Amino acid sequence: MYNTIVMVKQVPDTANISGKVMKDDGTVNRSMLPAIFNHEDKEALEMALRVKEKYGGTVSVITMGPPRASDMLRECLYMGADKAYLISDRKFAGSDTLATSYVLSKAVKRVGEFDIVFAGRQAIDGDTAQVGPQTAEKLNLPQATYAEEILELDGDKIKIKCAIDGGYEVLEGKLPLLVTVVKDSNQPRPFSAKRTMRFKNAKTLLDIQKMSDENSLLTLQELVEEYKSKNLYIETITSEDLTNLDAAMLGLHGSPTKVHKVESVVLAGGKYEKIEASKDGIASLIDELLNDHILG
């Protein structure tokens, strides 16, 4: 039996941008960027679900983000996660990777006992690969990054295969530890139809608050209890739910790195020599390349 916690993130789909991402006023046009489940985090969840299937235990998922990240948490439930937590608070806004890791490390402790913490190697919006190792450091856990496969779990022993530059290595060690997972390791499973039917009604505190405003028959507390009893409650964790939180470590204030300047990518443009896509055009290009000794 192994209890695992998977750190997941909802990210803008930076790979599929349909138009101009920056508005003319220099802000990011989020409507151009649909929010998706970060692919490598999905791989991490798949690895955790396989541990559960093989050895038993539970899989909890946590995400730090705005309320709409609950869409992704529901997807985690559709895939097979047992419990989902949304870590959301305005005080966390503007966090760099260090401030994010600080909150995540506190949230992991809040979720409870665990044997392995999983995360994707990196998220496609920042591509930093820093949050996994930084969370491990804050939790005083050893780390295995770029993991491809857990080869064996036996008591508190783990054998894990990880990518290294130019190859791979197998690490052997003791639990607990934090594992970051690389893409294409696991082929994440599709959503289970049965679980989707059931968990599409899973709700966060904010969702339930909206309902209780509309429906005065039940109090907020009663509604929350009802969702909890049906196992359809996505627990929302705010700064108030985390113990020993140092306010100086949160958000923009707790972030050593600051964005000084953001520029839209502007290209000088159009100074190239245009070559006709014809026999003559290409022949003259080849002549030029041969004369300059670039070809031949």
Whole-angstrom distance, CA of residue 124 vs CA of residue 121: 10
How far from each other are the two terminal CA atoms of the chain, in whole angstroms? Answer: 65
Could you say whether residue 260 binds other proteins (CB under 8 A)?
yes
Q: Are strands 157-164 and 143-154 parallel, antiparallel or unpaired?
A: antiparallel
In the 8-state DSSP scheme, what is residue 192? P
Count the site residues for other proteins by CB under 8 A.
80
CB of 228 to other proteins, least distance (A): 34
Chosen residue from 46, 96, 115, 148 binding other proteins by CB under 8 A:
96
Residue numbers 196-235 binding other proteins by CB under 8 A: none
Nearer to other proteins, 190 or 256 (CB): 256
Token pair of 261 as six digits: 């300047």
Nearest approach, Cβ of 10 to other proteins (angstroms)?
15
CB of 239 to other proteins, least distance (A): 20
Query: Is 130 a binder of other proteins (CB under 8 A)?
Result: yes
The answer to whether residues 102 and 250 touch, using CB atoms and an 8 Å cutoff, is yes
Q: In angstroms, give the least distance from the CB of 103 to other proteins.
A: 13
Residues in contact with 107: Cβ distance below 8 Å, sequence separation at least 6, in sequence order: 62, 64, 85, 87, 237, 242
Which structure tokens are listed for 37? 């489940």
**What's phi and psi for 277, nearest 5 deg?**
-80, 50
Examine residue 265 and tell whether it contacts other proteins (CB under 8 A): yes
Looking at 82-90, 112-120, 196-204, 288-296, which segment touches other proteins (CB under 8 A)?
A: 288-296
Among 10, 38, 134, 185, which residue interacts with other proteins (rule: CB under 8 A)?
Answer: 134
Give the Cα separation of 207 and 202 in Å (integer): 9
**Residue of 18, 28, 197, 226 that binds other proteins (CB under 8 A):** 28
Residue 6 touching other proteins (CB under 8 A) = no
Choose, by CB under 8 A, the member of 221, 231, 264, 291 that binds other proteins: 264
Based on the shown chain and the rule CB under 8 A, indicate whether residue 170 belongs to the binding site for other proteins. Answer: yes
DSSP 190: P
Verify binding: residue 22, other proteins, rule CB under 8 A: yes
Among 197, 221, 283, 291, binds other proteins (CB under 8 A): 283
Cβ proximity to other proteins, 13 vs 82, nearer residue: 13
Sequence-ordered list of residues with C-beta below 8 angstroms from that of 123, at least 6 positions apart, any chain:
9, 11, 38, 40, 41, 131
- The answer to whether 1 and 55 are in contact (CB under 8 A) is yes
Residues 103, 96: Cα–Cα separation, whole Å? 11
Return the number of the residue (90 or 174) whose C-beta is nearest other proteins.
Answer: 174
Query: Whole-number minimum distance, CB 260 to other proteins, in Å?
Result: 4
Q: In angstroms, rounded to a whole number, what is the distance separating the alpha carbons of residues 170 and 164?
A: 10
- Burial label for 79, CB within 10 Å (0-12, 13-18, 19+), is buried
Q: Which stretch binds other proteins (CB under 8 A): 112-120, 128-136, 208-216, 227-235?
A: 128-136
Q: Is 167 in the site for other proteins (CB under 8 A)?
A: yes
Does 285 engage in binding with other proteins (CB under 8 A)?
yes
